[in-house]
Amino acid sequence: MKTIDGYQNKQVLILGLAKSGLAAAKLVKSLGAKVVVNDQKPYDENDAAQELEAIGIKVVCGHHPLELLDGVDVIIKNPGIPYSNPLLQEALKRKLSIITEVELAYQVSEAPFIGITGSNGKTTTTTLIYKMLEEDRKNPLIAGNIGTVACEVAQEAKSENIIVTELSSFQLMGIETFKPKISLFLNLFEAHLDYHGTKEEYAQAKANIFKNQTQDDFAVVNMDDAEVRKVSEGIAAQIVPFSVKEEVKDGAYLLNNQLYFCNEAVMNVKDVVLPGKHNLENILAAIAVVKLLGCSNEAIYRVLTTFAGVKHRVQYVTTINKRKFYNDSKATNILATTVALSAFTQPTILLAGGLDRGNEFDELKPSLEHVKAVITFGETAPKIERVAKEAGIQVVKRVDNVKQAVIEAYDCSEEDDVVLLSPACASWDQFKTFEERGDMFIKSVHKLK
Answer whether 339's CB lies under 8 Å from 445's CB.
Answer: no
**Residue 315 DSSP label:** E
| Contact present, 395 and 374 (Cβ < 8 Å) | yes
Q: Which of 339, 352, 340, 327 shows the shortest CA–CA distance to 426?
A: 352
Residue 122 assigned ligand-binding role: yes
Q: Which of 9, 192, 175 is nearest to 84 (CA)?
A: 192
Q: Which amino acid is at 149?
A: V
Give 141's strand partners: 163
Residue 59: helix, strand or coil by DSSP?
Answer: strand
Q: Are 224 and 243 in contact (CB under 8 A)?
A: yes
Calpha distance 430→426 (Å, rounded) = 9
Known binding residue 121? Answer is yes
Binding site annotation covers 198? no
Q: Residue 210 and residue 185: Cα distance in Å, rounded? A: 9
Q: How far apart are the C-alpha atoms of 61 and 43, rounded to whole Å? A: 5
Round to whole Å and give the CA distance between 137 and 31. 32
- Asked whether 210 and 190 are in contact (CB, 8 A), the reply is no
Angle between helices 279-292 and 122-135 (to 10 degrees): 40
Query: Residue type for 107, please?
Result: Q
Helices and strands in the chain: count of H runs, count of E runs: 16, 20
Beta bridge mates, 38: 15, 60
Q: Is 118 annotated as a binding residue?
A: yes
Q: Residues annotated in the binding site for ATP, as ranges?
A: 118-124
Q: Residues annotated in the binding site, as ranges?
A: 118-124
